[in-house]
């Protein structure tokens, strides 16, 4: 292993003169002080110039001195993969934070690194491979139960050669470090002893699958505005930019709770500490609506707040996506929520400045777009060698200063994601939640509602916004009755369907079947022609209709079918529309009969 001496210190970037062989992204440990050489700070090589390596340190660099010792490990920055990942709360370097706090006390000490996976816990191993089987990286040796899943014990992804299974441990209880199998490479004869855990570099995508597929199946979030108007596909990507206080964190939390995925990974890559604490406190207390057990049993939280060193923000992003790819290799659907990628981009800008690189727009590095694209490209749907399908869906929130969507991080993200859920300060101030702006947002994916129906409602919504803007100039009296009815229909969509109460026991989570049912009823109202004597009559009529639909949102469905209260309110809506309606418009039947 190479050794080095500190030649320069600039914030959390350290320049090291080294002897030997050093690789990009290699991990090095920097000794703190002359006497306390046992305390070492973890760092990563980010640039090599001749015999000078520049490292970003994942801890505060106070106490480092010129001439200090640096030891390179000949290993890339990596994470441990194996049973015990679920329910964990890690920092950006995969240190288990509860155990770290227990070991160090209230204030975490520098240079303390713990094992990510518990070494003393025993798992019930059940072998699947037998002696003589041919295997390679990513193939399953056996399984262990972990929560609601069968965690697959796989051949380490770094073994590309075809191997023969020499032996497999019998069914029983083992720790992650005990040997459970032995395999031999067919050509070279090299023997590998396998345990239930192995490591993988975080900046190297896991590609041990047969085929990469196009994301087509919707990821149901049970948020009406998302599933109906701006859907996200399983294996797709989306971003949630918005100003502070617009509801990004709440939207991500309800998505992680109700989305129809198997595993949720939350990477708080530089979010404010207060919001992270809220997540840490609430998630263990939440019940998973899918299993009835604790939501944490299928969740991993990577906690790297804005008060932590900037280099650790980058590590947390890559740690999160590597863990997501690992569970995808088990045929699971994984949702990775990164909050917020703006902090990660700011960390890149800070490090780029210390490297004295030529700055790009707003002093961000010139490679900002390529790094963001490379991160989101690790999402996707894959067909495994076994024929099973797994997916990683990535949703990243962006915190542009002042809600300016034209800034570089937001624009770089928009170029690579498949859906854009732009949060609006105006809507959040008006308490219209979720505050996703229905005009500025978009999606390239197909949702749970047929496109013909959704597009018609979108046209009404857009036209209603246009009439509203016009009315602010010419007044209500300067607006024609047909335009005013369009405005009221647009308000009906916005208030009675798009807005949703995240804290209501019924309205917080709306099944696809219910969304389609209610949306068809809403279309019945939108497609009906009305004739009013004046705008006061129209206003009172639509107010009554709006209140009935809002009451329906709070009415329960029993066994995914309309309950008595819901059915009663639906009858009242149809009677109200029938009493004043003048029949359907010309293309109504074609729209109503559209199928997904």
Give the 3-state DSSP-derived string for 139-200, with helices as H, strands as E and coil as C.
CEEEEEEECCEEEEEECCCCCCCCEEEEEECCCEEECCCCCCEEEEECCCCCEEEECCCEEE
- Asked if residue 337 lies in contact with residue 266, where contact means CB atoms within 8 angstroms, the answer is yes
Among residues 432, 401, 431, 400, the alpha carbon closest in space to that of 239 is found at 400
Residue 245 marked ligand-binding: yes
Among residues 286, 270, 423, the alpha carbon closest in space to that of 340 is found at 270
**Residue located via tokens 């518990």:** 118
Beta-strand ranges (E) seen in 309-438 are: 333-338, 380-383, 389-398, 419-420
φ/ψ region of 207 (left if φ > 0, alpha if ψ in -120 to 50, else beta) reads: alpha
How many C-beta atoms surround the C-beta of residue 244 within 10 A? 14
Distance CA 317, CA 488 (A): 44
Residue 248 marked ligand-binding: yes
DSSP 92: T
**Residue located via tokens 């996200």:** 232
Residue 65 marked ligand-binding: no
Among residues 282, 348, 344, 358, the alpha carbon closest in space to that of 313 is found at 344
Residue 87 marked ligand-binding: no
Indicate the burial class of 206 (C-beta count within 10 angstroms; 0-12, 13-18, 19 or more). buried
Give the 3-state DSSP-derived string for 532-548, with helices as H, strands as E and coil as C.
CCCHHHHHHHHHHHHHH
Residue 242 marked ligand-binding: yes
* Long-range Cβ contacts of 521-524 (<8 Å, 24+ apart): 521/549, 521/570, 521/573, 521/574, 522/457, 522/492, 522/493, 522/496, 522/497, 522/549, 523/453, 523/456, 523/457, 523/591, 523/592, 524/574, 524/577, 524/592
Distance CA 100, CA 90 (A): 9
Residues annotated within the binding site are 242-249
Q: Which positions make up the binding site for ATP?
A: 242-249
């Amino acid at each position: 292993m190479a050794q080095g001496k500190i030649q320069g210190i600039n914030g959390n970037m350290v320049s090291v003169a080294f002897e030997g062989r050093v690789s990009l992204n290699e991990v090095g440990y920097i000794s703190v002080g002359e006497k306390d050489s046992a305390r070492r700070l973890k760092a990563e090589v980010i640039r090599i110039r001749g015999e000078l390596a520049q490292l970003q340190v994942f801890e505060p660099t106070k106490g480092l001195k010129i001439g200090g010792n640096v030891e390179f490990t000949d290993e890339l920055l990596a994470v441990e993969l194996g049973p015990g990942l679920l329910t964990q709360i890690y920092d950006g370097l995969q240190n288990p934070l509860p155990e770290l706090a227990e070991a160090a006390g209230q204030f975490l000490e520098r240079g303390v690194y713990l094992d990510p996976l518990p070494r003393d816990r025993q798992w019930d191993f059940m072998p699947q491979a037998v002696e003589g089987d041919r295997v390679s990286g990513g193939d399953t040796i056996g399984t262990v139960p972990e929560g609601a899943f069968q965690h697959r014990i796989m051949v380490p992804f770094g073994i590309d050669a075809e191997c023969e299974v020499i032996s497999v441990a019998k069914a029983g209880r083992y720790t992650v470090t005990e040997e459970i199998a032995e395999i031999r490479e067919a050509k070279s004869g090299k023997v590998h002893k396998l345990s239930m855990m192995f490591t993988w570099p975080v900046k190297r995508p896991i590609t041990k699958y047969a085929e990469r597929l196009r994301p087509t199946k919707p990821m149901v979030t049970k948020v009406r505005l998302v599933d109906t108007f701006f859907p996200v596909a399983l294996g797709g990507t989306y971003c949630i930019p918005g100003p502070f206080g617009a509801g990004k964190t709440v939207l991500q939390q309800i998505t992680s709770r109700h989305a129809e995925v198997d595993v949720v990974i939350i990477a708080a890559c530089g979010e404010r500490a207060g919001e992270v604490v809220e997540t840490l406190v609430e998630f263990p207390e939440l019940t998973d609506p899918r299993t009835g057990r604790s939501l944490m049993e299928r969740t991993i939280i990577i906690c790297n707040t804005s008060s932590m060193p900037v280099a650790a923000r980058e590590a947390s992003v890559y740690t999160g996506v590597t863990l997501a790819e690992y569970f995808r290799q088990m045929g699971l659907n994984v949702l990775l929520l990164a909050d917020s990628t703006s902090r990660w981009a700011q960390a890149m800008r800070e490090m780029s400045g210390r490297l004295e690189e030529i700055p790009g727009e707003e002093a961000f590095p010139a490679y900002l777009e390529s790094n963001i694209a490379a991160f989101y490209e690790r999402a996707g749907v894959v067909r495994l060698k076994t024929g099973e399908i797994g997916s990683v869906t990535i949703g990243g929130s962006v915190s542009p200063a002042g809600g300016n969507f034209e800034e570089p991080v937001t624009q770089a993200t928009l170029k690579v994601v498949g859906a854009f859920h732009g949060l609006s300060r105006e809507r959040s101030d008006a308490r219209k939640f979720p505050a996703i702006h229905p005009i500025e947002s978009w999606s390239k994916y197909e949702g749970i509602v047929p496109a013909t129906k959704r597009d018609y409602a979108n046209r009404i919504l857009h036209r209603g916004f246009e009439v509203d803007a016009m009315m602010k100039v010419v007044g209500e009296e300067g607006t024609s009755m047909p335009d005013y009815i369009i405005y009221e229909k647009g308000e009906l969509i916005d208030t009675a369907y798009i807005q949703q109460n995240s804290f209501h026991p019924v309205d917080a989570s709306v099944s696809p079947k219910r969304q389609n049912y209610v949306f068809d009823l809403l279309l019945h109202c939108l497609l009906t022609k009305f004739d009013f004597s004046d705008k006061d009559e129209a206003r009172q009529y639509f107010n009554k209709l709006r209140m009935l639909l809002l009451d329906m949102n709070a009415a329960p469905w029993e066994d995914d079918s309309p309950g008595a209260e819901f059915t009663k309110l639906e009858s009242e809506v149809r009677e109200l529309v029938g009493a004043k309606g003048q029949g359907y418009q010309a293309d109504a039947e074609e729209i109503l009969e559209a199928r997904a």
